Structures are given as C-alpha cells and as structure tokens.
C-alpha cells in the first residue's frame, strides 16, 4: 500500500472514526455554535416567558416546565421551520465542524438541505428513535451524520451507537435469527452499545450505517440536539439524491469545469 499523504491529525481522526464509528471534538467555531443556540432561544422566548435568572442553557434544559408533551411536536416543527429559513444557520452549522468533515469525508461536499431537530423531554415515551441503521432504509453508506447538541447530553439524555468493531459480530447474529421488531434487536445489543457523553461546545460525527437510537430520557433535563447529513459529492447516493435531499456546498473549480465539459464534435 502506498504511503498516505494525510496529515498526522487527519490520520488520527480518520483512524478513530474507522475504529469506533464516531468521533467527538470541540467545535471549530464556538461563535457559530452560540449563534445557532441564540436563534433557538429567541424563537422560544416569542412564545414563553422566563425568569431573568434563566440563562440559555437553563431555558433549554427545563423547557419541559413550560411545554406539555402533546404540544411538543407542533412546537418543534414551528421553530425548526424558522431555523431552516435562515440560510446562515446551515452555513454556521458547517463551520463548526468543517475541518473534521474534510478529514473524514473530503473537501467537496453535499449537505442535507434541511437541518433536523430532536427535543426529548424527561420521561416522554413518544419521542423515541428505535434502534436502526440509516442504510437499512435506503441511505448511502457514504454519508455521515453531524450531531450537534445545544445542551450537555449524557446517559439517557443522549443517544447510543453500536461501536464499529462489533458490527461484524452483530451482522452474523442478525442474519441467523429473525428479529421481528426493533426492540428485540435492541435487547440483543443493549449491553454493548456506547452511550454518547457530549457537552455543549462539542460535536459528534458518526457513521450512520451503525445501529443507533435513543431510549426514554430518564434524566431531569430536556435534550436538544441537531443533526444533519454530509457526504462527498461524487460518492454513490442512496434513496436521498442530490438536488432533492442534498445540495453541493463546497464544489471546486476543476470539478465545476469537468462536469460542464463537452467534447467538441469532430467531422
């Protein structure tokens, strides 16, 4: 095998991603992250009033004291719609993880057109994401997910993922027996999954082909996390296509020229 031309830091993060199936790093631009969080706070304050002693973190962590479970989805969609109207939010989202994406995925990227938001209230049985792999439902294995917490996330206030070094063992077991529902699949791996501990100011990039999900939030605080998919523009696509789900964000000049090039007609 020829010598890699990756930098030592790129090699380190690449090896970690391959070994574990995810990496956690400090965001590369804290001001951009604070901008995103502040947008949510402004939208929340339009509908709910808070005591002055409540800082941004406390507002997000204890939003369940203001909103009922049956109001949650409408509330989530309302503020998410406003966030996705602000093109600067997508740009700042990319900025907080740019160098890590370039190391893991490349520097000619497509980005999901809309950012997703998860809000998980304490003890809420209706905001669960059963164990799954995005590739099982048609996503490309060339995609990665950038998972950005707006609050500190830990234990059941976070998400879990099956480490990459266990995926072959999992695939062998799952192929030998018919697991009729996702709960039975989770019971198979629950002692082996890694619960992600990540603080506000950090970002998680993970391999979405690995089984992952969440459970009932048994902590006393609400989870707020954003997620968005990225992939190399020239890597194979699954059901989510460029122009429909993804759009180019860092296409380079030579690629633009090459994509437009047409051989001259010769007589």
Do the domain assignments include residue 126? yes
Tokens for 261, please give them: 């090039």
Task: List, for residues 64-92, the tens digit of each pLDDT value.
Answer: 999 989 999 999 999 999 999 998 999 99
Q: What is the DSSP pairing of strand 160-161 with strand 194-195?
A: antiparallel
pLDDT tens digit string along 18-35?
Answer: 999 999 999 999 999 999
- Based on the structure, what is the number of domains in the chain? 1
Res 79: pLDDT = 95
Domain-located, residue 267:
no
Residue pair 163/21 in contact by the 8 Å Cβ criterion: yes
CB atoms within 10 A of CB 199: 12
Q: What is the pLDDT of residue 179?
A: 73
Which has the closest alpha carbon to 6: 108, 106, 146?
106
DSSP 28: S
Residue-number span of the structural domain to which 180 is assigned = 8-260
Question: Pick from 87, 145, 144, 91: which is nearest to 118 by CA?
Answer: 145
Contact 153, 196 (CB under 8 A): yes
Below-50 pLDDT ranges, the chain: none
List the structure tokens of 260.
Answer: 């437009």
Residue 265 lies in a domain: no
Q: At what angle do helices 72-85 and 30-47 cross, to 10 degrees?
A: 130
In a domain, 165, yes or no: yes
The whole-model pTM stands at 0.94
Classify residue 266: in a domain, yes or no: no
pLDDT at residue number 88: 93
User: In angstroms, rounded to a whole number, what is the distance separating the alpha carbons of residues 200 and 148?
Assistant: 8
Instruction: Provide the CATH number for the domain around residue 76.
Output: 2.60.120.620
The helix or strand, by DSSP H or E, that contains position 253, with its residue range, turns out to be helix 253-260
How many other β-carbons are positioned within 10 Å of the β-carbon of residue 52?
A: 5
Helix (H) / strand (E) element for 176: namely helix 167-176
Is 67 part of a structural domain of the chain?
yes
Residue 182 lies in a domain: yes
Residue 12 lies in a domain: yes
């Amino acid at each position: 095998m020829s010598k890699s031309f990756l930098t030592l830091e790129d090699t380190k993060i690449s090896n970690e991603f391959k070994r574990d199936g995810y990496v956690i790093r400090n965001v590369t631009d804290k001001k951009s992250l604070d901008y995103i969080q502040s947008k949510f706070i402004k939208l929340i304050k339009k509908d709910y009033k808070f005591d002055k002693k409540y800082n941004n973190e406390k507002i997000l962590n204890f939003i369940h004291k203001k909103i009922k479970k049956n109001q949650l989805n409408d509330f989530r969609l309302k503020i998410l719609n406003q966030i996705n109207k602000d093109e600067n939010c997508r740009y700042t989202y990319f900025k907080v993880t740019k160098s890590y994406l370039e190391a893991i995925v490349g520097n000619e990227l497509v980005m999901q057109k809309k950012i997703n938001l998860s809000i998980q209230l304490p003890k809420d049985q209706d905001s669960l994401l059963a164990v799954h792999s995005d590739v099982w439902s048609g996503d490309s294995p060339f995609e990665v997910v950038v998972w950005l917490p707006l609050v500190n996330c830990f234990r059941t206030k976070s998400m879990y993922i099956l480490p990459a070094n266990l995926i072959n063992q999992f695939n062998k077991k799952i192929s030998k027996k018919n697991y009729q529902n996702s709960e039975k699949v989770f019971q198979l791996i629950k002692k082996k999954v890694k619960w992600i501990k990540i603080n506000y100011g950090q970002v998680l990039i993970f391999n979405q082909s690995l089984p992952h999900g969440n459970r009932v939030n048994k902590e006393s605080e609400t989870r707020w996390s954003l997620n968005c998919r990225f992939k190399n523009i020239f890597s194979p696509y699954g059901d989510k296509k460029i122009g429909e789900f993804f759009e180019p964000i860092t296409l380079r000049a030579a690629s633009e020229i090459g994509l437009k090039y047409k051989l001259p007609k010769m007589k």
